[in-house]
Amino acid sequence: MKKVALVTGANKGLGFQTAKELGQQGIKVLVGARNEERGNKAVAELKNEGVDAEFVQLDVSDSKSIKNAVDTISKNHDHLDILVNNAGIIHSKESWDADSVNSLTQDILRDTFETNFFGLVDLTQQLVPLIKKSDQGNIVNVSSILGSLGEANNPESDYYQVKPFAYNASKAAVNSYTIHLATALKNDNIKVNSAHPGWVQTDLGTEHAPLTVEEGARTIVDLALDSSDKTSSFEHLGQAIAW
């Protein structure tokens, strides 16, 4: 039975690289993307690389889009082995300093959570029945070390002063979801883990980031392909990060 993986936000950056590397392992890759033109372009590029790829229109901030995507996936595939919840945003108007907790608007907070958390949970809940049909399911939530409460509260941490509240809080919520979901699925042979890709050269990370997209995707791909009993972990390149 050929493995099937869904990667959200897969038309560019970390999502595209993750889809490419999973596809190179012989896995059928479903390319989740909001924009049909960009999604189909990504699929064409992946196919040119020898990857078995299929576009799925998916906007994780839109509940109707999520339902339609799940219906399409369920219609075309009788199981799902890997779910990579990669789609995420940081609002362009959010401050990165500590005062963001006082200055950000409710709209920014809600918009950030809608994509980074609520949509992620909605999509995952609807896909769990399909993942249960896998011989071994892997769910990877792409988080960030900025979602670590331990790092945020440690004055010695390199990330102590990096405090865009909406983004950090949404990733902390994702980490909490990882822990809860891993516990709920522990008897279903489905592993649930959070990945910190690092500071990566993407639209979000900017060109100033020290890691390439290939380096950033490594943690995500490793967790997606992991066949051990590892679950409820938060890590970067195999190293545990404090929740």
- Interatomic CA distance for residues 120 and 66, integer angstroms: 10
Q: Which tokens go with 109?
A: 């907070």
Calpha distance 64→147 (Å, rounded): 28
What residue has token string 């066949």?
227
Using CA atoms of 196, 200, 203, 208 in order, give the dihedral in degrees to the nearest 10: 140
> What's the CA gap between 153 and 14, in Å, rounded?
28
75 Cβ contact partners less than 8 Å away, ≥ 6 residues apart: none
Contact call for residues 219 and 196 (beta carbons, < 8 A): yes
Amino acid letter, 38: R
Distance CA 130, CA 115 (A): 22
Contact between 51 and 27 (Cβ < 8 Å): no
Active site residue 177: no
Q: Catalytic: which of 159, 160, 167, 177? A: 167
Q: Active-site residue numbers?
A: 167
